[in-house]
Every structure is written in structure tokens, then in C-alpha cells.
Amino acid sequence: MSLMRGVLNTYLRLVEKPRMRQAKTAEKLRRNFARSAKYFFHSPRGTTIKKDSLPGGCEVLTVTPKQLSSDLVIFYIHGGGFIFGSPETHCAMMGQLAARVGARVVMPRYRLAPEFPFPAANDDVEKAYLALVTSGVASSNIVIGGDSAGGGLTFSLLSQILAKGLPLPRGVFGFSPFVDFALQGASFKENATQDVVLSANRAAETVDMYQAGADRADPRLNVLQAGFEGAPPVWLCVGDTEILRDDAHALKHLLKDCEVAVAFHEEHDLPHVWPIFHNLLPEAHQTLDTLAVWIKALPQPEA
């Protein structure tokens, strides 16, 4: 483990985690995270970041690397507890991944809670995915990914694609995905003090804000109630000190029970969604390198 890991963990534990816990409103959370992202995260030189729209008026942010060498398109769903975050806060990380794969990244802009509770975000990302296919991108050339709450939306989208018989992507990946709205994982309590980013109490509050009285057993909310038979290959990573550690493990077991090929990476004492700290953390570069190799090796689905 790098020296920077300890420095970053200390900073996150002492500064960012209390700031997130103490923010009184969704708007305050949004401003704080947007400011931190602007300060910490930067795309590689030559990356083009452009606001765009897909058929049907779906707003997206497109990230294009300096060297575009692949027909693949990464459809990436940002995290933020369903109430903050944006394509802009995550586009630098996607610029790093885009450069490694040589592929364009399309990031949908979905509605946030509490102004727009469930199923607004789920509906928006499904609409954007179908709009991307309608725009002329073959689903077999799309790789879907997401982090944290965006990881939950990613696998919710995958379950809906399978349930509705929609065009399948080539692969799916998730950074520290949040998939258990019932909050049953032991790590939610066991790692409450060790997690240097997420507050267990604040995470539970954001769940309530997005759920807004909906049935937690709904598989679009609680992904662990969904079916994944016939899904394409999946790549997952999580840290062993995260409160969402057991979410990732439960998702891995569910996918394997559905005979889905899963590449699973659990790392020691790294912060929640550590690839986003690519400008600071050597382990973030290593993980993005590993993911890029996996994406480029994904087999073309049979027609």
C-alpha cells in the first residue's frame, strides 16, 4: 500500500466525512462535493468534455480521450447517494478510464432526490441507455458502469434490461456499488467507524430520501431481489473497510448464482470509490488499469 493512502484516509476521515455528515441540506451536500471534485479531480490533457443530448432530449456529458481508438462506449452512472453528484463531479475519473480504453464515455444526467424520489433516477438512466442505442451505438459496443448509488442504478438498469428483453450491453462494472436498500450487510455497522468517507447514518438518510415510501422489496430499488440470468460479464471492486463491503459481496454471490461471469476485487483499507482519487492515489491508477484491461478483453457477444 502506498504512503499516500494513509495521508488521504486521514484527510478524508478528519475533513470530508465530518463535512458530509454535518451538511444540513441536499443543496449543501451538492455544493461541497462539487467544490471538492473541482479541486481534487482532473482529466488527462487532451480530454474533451462536452455537454450533449441524446434522442428524446436526454441530457448527457460526453468524455472523449485524446486518442480515440475503440468503438466501445462506456455508459457511466455517477454516484452521490441519489441526492448529490453529477456527471461533472465524476468526468475526470472517466477521462482517466477513457484514455486507458481509448473509448468515449457517455454520462447521463439523472434527476436527484429529495426533489425527485424513486423511480426518477431509475427511469432517467434507462431512458438514456435506450436513447444511446437509438442514436446508433450498438448495445454490444456499450459497457455500463457506475459507483456507489450510481452502481446501484447500474445493476438496477441491468436487471430491467434482462427483465424486459432490451438490448444487452457487452459488460457491466461497479465501483463500491450500493445495492441493498434493506441495509442488512454486517459491514454497514462493523465498518461504521473504519469507513473514512461514508457516514452510516447519513447513508441511511439518503436511502430514505430516495425511497420516499416506496416498497424496498421492489427489485429496481433493492437490486438483491432482482434476477440476472443471461447477464453479460461483470467486474466489481470494493474496499474491506467500507460500509458497503457486504453489498458488493452479496451482489457477487447473487450474480454467480445466476451463472454470470464475475471478476471481483476487494482491496485493503482504501476509501469508498477510491478510483475517483486518481490524481492522488497510486492504487486508483492500478485499479483503473485493471478495469481497462478487463474492458478491452470483453468478448464480442454472439449475434
Q: What local confidence, expressed as pLDDT, does residue 204 receive?
A: 87
Residue that the C-alpha cell 473509448 belongs to: 103
Q: What local confidence, expressed as pLDDT, does residue 300 receive?
A: 82
Distance CA 29, CA 19 (A): 8
Helix (H) or strand (E) holding 202: helix 200-211
Q: What local confidence, expressed as pLDDT, does residue 303 receive?
A: 56
Q: What local confidence, expressed as pLDDT, does residue 302 receive?
A: 67
Residue that the C-alpha cell 482519487 belongs to: 277
What percentage of the chain carries pLDDT values higher than 70? 99
Q: What local confidence, expressed as pLDDT, does residue 147 receive?
A: 98
Among 93, 90, 86, 171, which residue's Cα sits nearest to residue 121? 86
**With bands split at pLDDT 50, 70 and 90, how would you rate the model's confidence at 202?**
confident
Whether residue 244 contacts residue 148, with contact meaning beta carbons closer than 8 Å, is answered with yes
What would the pLDDT profile of 68-111 be if each residue is shown by its tens digit?
A: 999 999 999 999 999 999 999 999 999 999 999 999 999 999 99
Distance CA 30, CA 32 (A): 6
**With bands split at pLDDT 50, 70 and 90, how would you rate the model's confidence at 64?**
very high
- Compute the Cα dihedral for 52, 58, 59, 65 and give only its sign: negative
Top-confidence range, 199-203, 222-226, 232-236: 232-236
Q: What local confidence, expressed as pLDDT, does residue 70 receive?
A: 96
Distance CA 130, CA 162 (A): 13
Average pLDDT over residues 152-171: 97
Average pLDDT over residues 124-140: 98
Whether residue 278 contacts residue 284, with contact meaning beta carbons closer than 8 Å, is answered with yes
Strand order of the sheet with strand 73-77?
48-54, 58-64, 104-108, 73-77, 142-147, 171-175, 234-239, 262-267
Residue 301 has pLDDT above 80, yes or no: no
What percentage of the chain carries pLDDT values higher than 90? 88
Distance CA 223, CA 148 (A): 13
Average pLDDT over residues 128-139: 98
Q: What local confidence, expressed as pLDDT, does residue 216 receive?
A: 84
Report whether the peptide linkage leading into residue 119 is cis, meaning its omega lies within 30 degrees of zero: yes
**Mean of all residue pLDDT scores within the chain:** 95
